[in-house]
């Protein structure tokens, strides 16, 4: 696997001197992406980084995966690979044979293979599997295979139906103690799916060191509706990545329903 030149103590000392986060120290390839704002497609051409998670979110991913020491992680949405690199770096830091399965139907065309190529350049090829299929075909296939996941990061298509489908299948693959995280939580569809998690399954929200962010526009709209007395369905959405630990492998009764 590709590594930085020099001994491990020397690399760590240099990283600390440069003010890097833990994930940047663990994965120099990811640190370079954030520093340069660029990455490389599968054919080696340079492309500008966009639609990627923030460094703070990458740091949270890295720390949660490192501490959880999962055997199998599932990621919905690979794109340019920043979240995958953070997860893979966490698996590497945890030791053992943990692996990541990334599902992204557009990896080879829209994203030009950049996410998969980034993981390979960082030395994580043996830990990484990429499935070039939509979530609604890939996840049922994994479930039929009997896959058990310990960690999942949902960052795919952000409509309610897709976010809900992603969680529904992940929940069936995940044992008690596993963790699922959502990206772009300020979007209405993702927020609604999180409402289902909290009302129809046994999960507890975790604090992972991210500042709670309601977004300026979200706060303004919430206050405006409150002042006008339009409180039905009023919900102040959190924008930061949100993490939930599965407390119990619980299935609701056949006629159960709770507002969410």
pLDDT digits (tens, 9 = 90+) for 130-170: 999 999 999 999 999 999 999 999 999 999 999 999 999 99
Q: Give SS3 for 109.
A: coil
For the whole model, what pTM was predicted?
A: 0.87
118 pLDDT above the threshold of 80: yes
Instruction: For the chain, give the mean pLDDT.
Output: 90
Task: Give CA 122 to chain center in angstroms.
Answer: 18
Give the integer Cα–Cα distance in Å for 89 and 30. 9
Name the residue ranges covered by the structural domains of the chain.
8-246
Q: Are strands 99-103 and 128-131 parallel, antiparallel or unpaired?
A: parallel
Give the integer Cα–Cα distance in Å for 251 and 216. 37
Q: Give SS3 for 55.
A: helix
For residue range 55-112, list pLDDT tens digits in order. 999 999 999 999 999 999 999 999 999 999 999 999 999 999 999 999 999 999 999 9
pLDDT at 224: 56
pLDDT at 219: 54
12 pLDDT above the threshold of 50: no
Pick the CATH number of 8-246 from 3.40.50.150, 2.40.50.140, 3.30.2130.30, 3.40.430.10: 3.40.50.150
CA angle (38 as vertex; 32, 41 as ends), nearest 5: 110
């Amino acid at each position: 696997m590709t590594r930085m030149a020099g001994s491990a103590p020397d690399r760590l000392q240099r990283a600390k001197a440069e003010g890097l986060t833990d994930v940047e120290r663990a994965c120099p390839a990811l640190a370079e992406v954030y520093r340069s704002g660029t990455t490389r497609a599968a054919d080696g051409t340079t492309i500008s980084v966009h639609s990627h998670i923030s460094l703070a979110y990458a740091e949270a991913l890295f720390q949660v995966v490192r501490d959880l020491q999962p055997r199998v992680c599932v990621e919905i949405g690979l794109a340019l690979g920043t979240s995958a690199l953070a997860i893979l770096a966490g698996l590497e830091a945890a030791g053992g044979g943990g692996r990541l399965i990334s599902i992204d139907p557009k990896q080879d065309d829209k994203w030009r293979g950049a996410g998969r190529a980034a993981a390979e350049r960082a030395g994580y090829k043996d830990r990484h599997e990429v499935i070039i299929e939509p979530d609604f075909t890939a996840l049922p296939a994994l479930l039929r295979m009997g896959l058990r996941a310990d960690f999942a990061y949902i960052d795919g298509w952000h409509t309610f139906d897709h976010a809900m489908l992603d969680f529904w299948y992940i929940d069936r693959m995940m044992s008690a103690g596993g963790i699922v995280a959502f990206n772009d939580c300020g979007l209405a569809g993702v927020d609604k799916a999180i409402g289902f998690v909290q009302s129809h399954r046994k999960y507890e929200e975790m604090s992972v060191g991210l500042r709670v962010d309601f977004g300026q526009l979200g706060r303004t709209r919430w206050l405006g509706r409150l002042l006008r007395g339009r409180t039905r369905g009023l919900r102040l959405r959190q924008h930061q990545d949100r993490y939930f630990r599965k407390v119990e492998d619980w299935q609701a009764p056949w006629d159960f329903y709770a507002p969410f």
